[in-house]
Amino acid sequence: MTLTAEASPAHHTPGRLSDRLLLAGAAAGPLFFASAITQMLTREGFDITRHPISQLATGDLGWIQIATFVTAGAGALALAVGLGRTLAAGTGRRALPVLVGVFGVGMIAAGAFTMDPEKGFPAGTPDEPIAQMSWHSIAHSASAAVAFTALAIAALVLSVRCARRRAALPAAASAVAGLVLLVPISPEHMSIQIAVNGLVAFTWTTAVAVFQRRVA
């Protein structure tokens, strides 16, 4: 996935700080899913077919997932700054860092505002949907929606950038990632679709960070 210049590389500002920022961006995805998968397998009552990953932020151990959201968001912000420091002129030079930054802020907000306990999770919660969402659950959903929409647009912008450089495979991969993230959430399969979106989003950010470290 070639992110470097369509024009002059004079806008590059490579260095140790940029490398560390991109490394933090690359680590965000694997850390997020290592934490989430561990919690899915160990927290009583959690069922990925019924409960979205975000619901792990509820209950006595909810602080683990809250910290996971905040850490992943901080990693995305580091990636945004790293891209801003290392991307050369061309399509998305300014838009990509901003869009990835919005994703990072949205993830942090998703951690700050938690979902409501429902559908039997955490253990002891009534086994039914909540009658009325709390304000913080609405804020969580809004934050996540903004975050993933911004990242979807970022992936499509990168697809155009790569296509203009005749990098067909990364252009296609980014286009697919962006389109997947823009598919409307299905109420019947919400938790699975959210998990897939998270996997696509963090795979994309990790790939972008790894490749940018190589060329910066």
In tens digits, the chain (216 residues) has pLDDT values of 546 444 334 344 458 999 999 999 999 999 999 999 999 999 999 999 999 999 999 999 999 999 999 999 999 999 999 999 999 888 889 999 999 999 999 999 999 999 999 999 999 999 999 999 999 999 999 999 999 999 999 999 999 999 999 999 999 999 999 999 999 999 889 999 999 999 999 999 999 999 998 887
What pLDDT score was predicted for residue 3?
60
Residue 205's alpha-carbon distances to 4, 88, 120, 121, in angstroms, are 16, 18, 33, 30
Q: What is the pTM of this model?
A: 0.90
Rounded Cα gap, residues 36 and 128, in angstroms: 23
Assigned token pair, 138:
């609405």
